[in-house]
A and B are shown apart, each in its own frame.
Chain A
């Protein structure tokens, strides 16, 4: 099949995979270094603590609030504007004795007539559990996907898609670590959504690779993989673009609470698009995929199809 005659661009993705390897390696090293050195800025969902969002009628004076908190000897209070200068976010580390009463006494201390927009209190034990549950959720999601892909395709594809997922997650986490954006439960949800999204992209490419392997008599894997990448390129870009459009709307219009969620997804979708083109396919080429590997799964499929 001649791709040029089909109006499909022919880009030598596979030939450039060494550059991609270097690029990914740099991103990964920087991300891991940042995660190791300064780590993530965990929100109170994970660390435990108290968060109070207050709405003032006029511009709020942060200095007054800070000095009031300091006089009352609250440890580790972080006071900042949230969205606009009439809204204030106060975050407190877990105190010597953590209790839900803390927020009430602070609100009372700051005075009457302030609109209490949000109060969150997470006890130290709960924070620990949420961290564990979050980690577990991520692990189970990856295992579930691994099994499904290994069953539908072949183990090398499963390893390729997992490599792409881990690549995406580490780099997204890396960006959060470098920029020190707060990492809370909603961001964790976003990271999990990134896993789903990146996988979606990878599967579409893999599907095409398998189809091409079965359709041609060529045995060389590189041109086949490259052809599949080119055939799916316009779909990959279109879908990423539509998803990004929606995410940008969410990022700019969804409000402060949803901001870091949308941000994580935007980073993840960009990285995910890149990784489904370069990382996943490079991985299966490196693992030595060949035409013969495709046949058993096709045979199984026929058996399944033949059932009444």
Chain B
């Protein structure tokens, strides 16, 4: 009685060994590191590694090692000063095909990482970083789609002069016709050429037709706007240089961006949310802007724009080229030590620039900076989106000679503004405005504090329970303590294996499972005590104690498990982190508190003649 078969014991030891092995990586600390990865399709290779090695050696920077890890190049340092100076050096020497980012690299020995050992991944609240939730302005997407279809509809019906007038009403396109014949003809054309436009029920009058974009085309437009924005955000994050960023879709119109370890959060915010681009337009030299303002009549083909300081200027409505045609941009100081942005256009942009500069040599060309913003305001208790668009002339200069795809623009306020503009132009513009609707930033100092405090509270809480259990249940208490320790190791091991993110509420979940895991053992031990009183046979008491407590433990744990799984599925952020560790903890505690503790008790008391139990 009370004897586990050898294979059972071996299996338990085997499991515990494996679990212990995968918990081990967490004991090793981490190195300060710089991670260099390729952008887009480019993967870093051995040549890059050698080059980086040479660059750092030439600059006499002290580094620990350089190696490939997870398809990135990782340079490890022993102090933060050489880490930071190396980042600056590498950022200057490497081209735009590389992302240079500060990182913390776990210093796990080769043999351990070779078998897949990884340390737990720490959440932003423990390592510091930024969490943004961005919402794409889908109304703007719909509006843009309506504009696009308006143009397409006009083009399609223009051929045979089928329509009298097309106007936009909200998200509807209303077409009026001269005769019913024309209307029927137009319906055929729309059905054939523009199948995404559907006739709105009840909108058809004798000489009028109301059209809207079909639901499927609308959602396709929204999805493509979302995907495009994710791509642009990824480019921008790459430009910022962040190791292990997370950029993913959440729901139909939101994007989560997590940037671990970002120091300058204000800049990250500026860059991510900016919907900025530039346009090049000719200055209308024939008309006077003051007359236009005084008379209130803007000449046809022109529009009034303003410089940042408020000076007005008449610009032609025809756009020469826009930010869309920019393939590269970099900021620098020009010969007068003014911040400037050097621009490279694609071929169609270059051609149009060449034509314009040839034609208008000696005239002025203006660069207009356009920024779209969307903010949520509360009006009578309802959240309303407020959109605003700023269009500032950043410079208007005389064309001195012809040029095509390479030139410089000046007139920026500061070097910071020039760097940001160059970055935004490089990374591409967002296809629809976004708004940051949630931000959670944890500074590095608070992250470190949180780790330390979390660790101390786990250790102290754990120690208190150990002392209490040993005092109350003596030998059995010690067995429970061993089971509890193994439970803690098991939780850490599983968290490391599945690479679940550990957060501060997650630590709280672990602390709570420590308290609750003891419960299973308490239930068993109390039951054994009871059985000993009613049944003199000690071996039988142990066996019955485990047996009878089992059902109770299962019932109690399953109900808690239901609660924690619900938390996991419906909760967000902190709740999820808590639910993950609680769920894992409940399951592992069943293994350690029932099976492992039984195995140990069996080894101590099983098959022997026991006079008295130390319980």
Does B578 belong to the interface (CB within 8 Å)? Answer: yes
In the complex, are the beta carbons of A238 and B526 less than 8 A apart? Answer: yes
* A56–B275 alpha-carbon span in the complex (Å): 34
Closest to A107 in B: B266
List which A69-105 residues lie within 8 A (CB) of chain B: 94, 96-101, 103-104
Docked complex: B530-562 residues within 8 A CB-CB of A: 530, 533-534, 548, 551-552, 555-560, 562
Verify A261–B437 contact, CB threshold 8 A. Answer: no
Nearest chain A CB to B613 CB, angstrom units:
14
**Residue of A107, A128, A193 with highest tally of chain B CB at under 10 A:** A193
Nearest residue, chain A, Cβ from B382: A124
**Closest chain B residue to A130, Cβ basis:** B572
A243 and B559 contacting across the interface, CB-CB below 8 Å: no
- Scan residues 172-211 of chain A and give those whose CB is less than 8 A from a CB of chain B: 185-186, 188-189, 192-193, 195-197, 199-201, 203-204, 207-208, 211
- Is A141 interfacial (CB-CB < 8 Å)? yes
Q: Indicate if the CB atoms of A99 and B436 lie closer than 8 Å.
A: yes
Q: Least Cβ distance of B269 to chain A in Å? A: 6
Known A1-B534, A104-B266, A242-B522: A118·B443 in contact at CB below 8 Å: yes
- A141, B562: Cβ atoms under 8 Å? yes
Q: How far is A119 from B508 in the complex, measured between Cα atoms in Å?
A: 21
Q: Is A7 a contact partner of B533 (Cβ separation < 8 A)?
A: yes
- A254 with B518: in contact, given A117-B445, A249-B511 (CB under 8 Å)? no
- A242 to chain B minimum Cβ distance, whole angstroms, is 5
Report chain A residues within 8 Å CB of B504: 257-258
User: A-B contact count, CB below 8 Å?
Assistant: 258
A97 contact from B377, B468, B571, Cβ within 8 A:
B377
**B560 and A196 contacting across the interface, CB-CB below 8 Å:** yes
Say yes or no: A242 contacts B469, CB within 8 Å. yes
Contacts of B27 in A (CB 8 A): none
Contact present for B560 and A199 (CB under 8 Å): yes
Q: Say yes or no: A144 contacts B566, CB within 8 Å.
A: yes
A residues in contact with B439, CB < 8 Å: 100, 103, 119-121
State which of B273, B442, B445, B573 has its C-beta within 8 Å of the C-beta of A55. B445
Residues of B within 8 A of A203 (CB): 552, 555-556, 559
Q: A137-B570, A137-B571 are in contact. Are A255 and B450 (CB under 8 A)?
A: yes
> Nearest CB to that of B437 among chain A residues?
A123
Q: Is the interface of B mostly helix, strand, loop or mixed?
A: helix
Kindly provide the distance from the CB of A273 to the nearest chain B CB, expressed in whole angstroms: 12
CB distance from A210 to the nearest CB of B (A): 10
Residue of A nearest to B439 (CB): A121
B324 within 8 A of A: no
Interface flag for A152 (CB, 8 Å) = yes
CB pair A140–B386 under 8 Å, yes or no, is: no
Q: Is the CB of A96 within 8 A of B377?
A: yes
Shortest beta-carbon distance, A29 to chain B, in Å? 27
Instruction: Indicate whether B461 reaches chain A with its CB closer than 8 angstroms.
Output: yes
Chain B residues lying within 8 Å of A148, measured Cβ to Cβ, are 558-559, 562
Kindly list chain B residues whose C-beta atoms are within 8 Å of the C-beta of A21.
Answer: none
Contact present for A193 and B378 (CB under 8 Å) = no
Q: Chain B residues with Cβ under 8 A from A8's Cβ? A: 530
Interface centre among A55, A193, A246, A265 (most CB of B within 10 A): A246
* Complex contact A246–B464 (CB within 8 A): yes
Give chain A nearest CB distance to B584 CB in angstroms: 14
A248-B462 Cα distance, complex, nearest whole Å:
11
Per-position 1/0 for A227-254, Cβ under 8 A of B? 0000110110011011111111110111
- A199: nearest chain-B partner, CB-CB: B559
Q: Which residues of A contact B530 (CB under 8 A)?
A: 6, 8, 231
Task: Please tell me if the beta carbons of A6 and B446 are within 8 angstroms of each other in the complex.
Answer: no
What separation, in Å, do the CA atoms of A218 and B383 have in the docked complex?
64
A298 within 8 A of B: no
User: A239 to B522, Cβ gap below 8 A?
Assistant: yes
User: Which one, B61-69, B201-209, B451-459, is touching chain A?
Assistant: B451-459
Answer whether A253 and B562 are a contact pair too, CB < 8 Å, given A104-B266, A189-B567, A204-B523.
Answer: no
CB-contacts of B467-507 with A (<8 A)? 468-469, 472, 504-505, 507
Q: Which of A141, A185, A197, A262 contacts B508 (CB under 8 A)?
A: A262
Contact B450 A257 (CB under 8 A): yes
Check A110 for interface membership: any CB of B closer than 8 A: no
B435 at the A/B interface (Cβ < 8 Å)? yes
A116 within 8 A of B: yes
* Interchain CA distance A232-B552 in the complex, whole Å: 11
**B453 nearest in chain A by CB position:** A255
Complex CA gap A234/B519 in Å reads 11
Chain A residues closer than 8 Å to B505, beta-carbon distance: 186, 189, 258, 261
Residues on A with beta carbons closer than 8 Å to the beta carbon of B438: 121-123, 126
CB neighbours (8 Å) of A188 from chain B are 575
Interface check B432, CB cutoff 8 A: no
* B552 lies within 8 A of A186 (CB): no
Greatest chain B CB density within 10 A among A134, A137, A261 is at A137
Q: Is the CB of B508 within 8 A of A254?
A: yes
Query: B375 interface residue, CB < 8 Å from A?
Result: yes
Contact (A116, B441) CB under 8 Å given A140-B566, A196-B564, A204-B523? yes
A244 to B464, CA, bound (A): 10
B1 CB-CB contact with A under 8 Å: no
Selected contact of B518 from candidates A242, A247, A265, CB within 8 Å: A242
* Interface pair A241/B559, CB less than 8 Å apart: no
B252 within 8 A of A: no
Q: Does A125 contact B (CB under 8 A)?
A: yes
B376 touches A124 (CB 8 A): yes
CB-based contact A249/B468 at 8 Å: no
Does A133 lie within 8 Å of B572, measured CB to CB? yes
Given contacts A121-B436, A141-B562, are A200 and B556 in contact (CB under 8 A)?
A: yes
What are 23 A-B pairs with beta-carbon distances under 8 A? A97-B377, A98-B376, A115-B445, A123-B435, A123-B436, A123-B438, A133-B570, A141-B562, A189-B578, A193-B582, A196-B559, A196-B563, A196-B582, A200-B556, A203-B552, A207-B551, A239-B515, A245-B464, A246-B464, A246-B511, A254-B454, A261-B508, A265-B512
Could you tell me which B residues sit within 8 Å of A by CB distance?
125, 132-133, 135, 265-266, 269-270, 273, 375-378, 383, 386, 435-443, 445-446, 449-450, 453-454, 456-458, 460-462, 464-465, 468-469, 472, 504-505, 507-508, 511-512, 514-516, 518-519, 522-523, 526, 530, 533-534, 548, 551-552, 555-560, 562-564, 566-567, 569-575, 578-579, 582
Additional A-B contact list (10), CB under 8 Å, known A196-B559, A249-B464: A115-B443, A121-B439, A128-B383, A152-B555, A188-B575, A196-B582, A238-B526, A247-B515, A254-B511, A258-B454
